[in-house]
Structure 1
Amino acid sequence: MKRLLLSYPLSVNTPVYKDNPPVVIQQQASIAQGDPYNQFVITSLNHNGTHIDAPWHFNPQGKKISEIAIEDFIFTHPVIIDIPKSDDELITKADLQPFEHQIAGADLLLIRTGFGTIRSSEPERYANHNPGLSESAARYLMIFDSLRAIGIDMISAGAANYPDEAVAFHQIILGKDRVDGKYILVIEDLNLDQDLTDISTVYAIPLYIEGVDSSFATVFTED
């Protein structure tokens, strides 16, 4: 059985979206300094690094991350599509429509833009000029009954320099104002720069934290 890690380790070098505070990791106890154990204090916004946006992030009536059942983070029909995008470009309904037959029946859609390849070499560009999904893309994706999550190789599904589109995308995809309760989870800052041709199952396991909208996640494949 082969497994591939799709999430990034959280570190002090993790790129952060726009003006979000960086990750801080401080050693609180050290064996090397005479303590009997090693121990750390980690301070981070819950949207730093690979994480899952739950509905409450943009939907005041939506579920918080700890209110979602664990089985809802396991995907057995993942599909990956390539939509190359560069700085500040939007993914629209028109970009997604050629993949309609692949998206139909998928429970997880992974969108690979190629922008993730600059994450370590150009972190400021990655954080401040990311492509993003548009309002039209959100409305289109919501028509697929089986689709429960999307994942992207960008720091955010919302383009940093298109804030109105970013808000509209998140509100729609996370189910704001939906009377039927439908929403699609958003998994951001994924490492999709690898061969994912034969993936059959994806686990996107959040850190369950009570009272918050979203959380860090470890994401891996199995085939």
Structure 2
Amino acid sequence: MIIDLTFPIENGMPYYPGDPQPKIEKFTSIEKEGYVVHKLTIGTHTGTHVDVPSHFIPEGKTLDQIEITRFSGKAYVIAIEKEKINKEDIPNVESEILLIYTGTSKSWKNGWNINKYSIITEEASKEISKRFKLVGIDSPSIGSFETHRILLKNEIIIVENLANLDKIIGKYVDFLCFPLLIKGADGSPVRAIAIVR
């Protein structure tokens, strides 16, 4: 079974303050030019997206410098529905990827409250850095700037704004995440899926 973990990119979607407002416009039409092309205005952290080291780390690796195998692998999905995810909340599991359902994604359609969503603490991020190659969450941000720096300095890939994690809580899955190959980028929207065997 395949579960889509991606929110659609669309006009009116939530976006992080300070990021470009996502906009999809018809650029050509069948009636006028004979074919349809749309123009997309988005940021590298629009919707379900990946953060790579250069997002916060000077001289950190850019998206095109990361091996494609770093974005996929065996994952465990855990539910931690509280404001702050602490070191003791990080499970001892046999996987290279940790996906965290916080419940924040339930408010996606109504626009999440940017002042109220679940985050990973700095101590928890240190623990994650020792045990996983990628961490994903259904919140719009994994945590503070320092939490980002701890993870990205250790080249831990971050995926934010994941959808449908509530459908696979407590399961081991094959997590596949496909960012756009953007030269020199600090992140990218992704198509993320989970394969449940």
Does the 8 A contact of 2:7 with 2:47 survive in 1?
yes
Unaligned stretches of 5+ residues in structure 2: none
Q: Distance in 1 between matches of 2:63 and 2:49?
A: 11
Aligned position for 1:189: 161
The structural deviation recorded for 1:5 is 0.5
Deviations 1:142-193 (A, max 9, x none): 221xx110010111112xxxxxxx1110000001xxxxxx421000000123
The structural deviation recorded for 1:214 is 0.8
The structural deviation recorded for 1:199 is 4.7
Aligned partner (choices 112, 115, 118) of residue 104 of structure 2: 115
Does the 8 A contact of 2:24 with 2:40 survive in 1?
yes
Query: Is 1:6 matched up with 2:20?
Result: no
Does the 8 A contact of 2:20 with 2:41 survive in 1?
no
Q: Distance in 1 between matches of 2:149 and 2:48?
A: 20
Does the 8 A contact of 1:16 with 1:22 survive in 2?
yes
Aligned position for 2:146: 168
Aligned length: 195
Aligned position for 2:75: 78
Does the 8 A contact of 2:137 with 2:160 survive in 1?
yes
Does the 8 A contact of 1:116 with 1:193 survive in 2?
no
The structural deviation recorded for 1:92 is 1.7
1:6-25 superposed matches below 5 A: 6-25=5-24
TM-score of the superposed pair, with normalisation by structure 1: 0.82
Aligned partner (choices 211, 214, 219) of residue 184 of structure 2: 211
Does the 8 A contact of 2:3 with 2:193 survive in 1?
yes
Q: Distance in 1 between matches of 2:181 and 2:13?
A: 21
Unaligned stretches of 5+ residues in structure 1: 159-165, 176-181
Letter in 1 for 2:5: L
Query: Is 1:150 matched up with 2:144?
Result: no
The structural deviation recorded for 1:19 is 3.4
Does the 8 A contact of 2:77 with 2:168 survive in 1?
no
Deviations 1:73-110 (A, max 9, x none): 221x210111112xxx22121332xx2x22xx311100
Aligned position for 2:56: 58
Give the secondary structure class of the aligned counterpart of 2:47: coil
Does the 8 A contact of 2:81 with 2:118 survive in 1?
no
Q: Distance in 1 between matches of 2:162 and 2:146?
A: 22
TM-score of the superposed pair, with normalisation by structure 2: 0.92
Give the secondary structure class of the aligned counterpart of 2:105: helix
Q: Distance in 2 between matches of 1:117 and 1:65?
A: 29
Aligned partner (choices 80, 84, 95) of residue 89 of structure 2: 95
Give the secondary structure class of the aligned counterpart of 2:77: strand
Give the secondary structure class of the aligned counterpart of 1:193: helix
Higher strand share: 2
Does the 8 A contact of 1:134 with 1:168 survive in 2?
no
The structural deviation recorded for 1:44 is 0.8
The structural deviation recorded for 1:198 is 4.7
Aligned position for 1:133: 120
Letter in 2 for 1:49: G
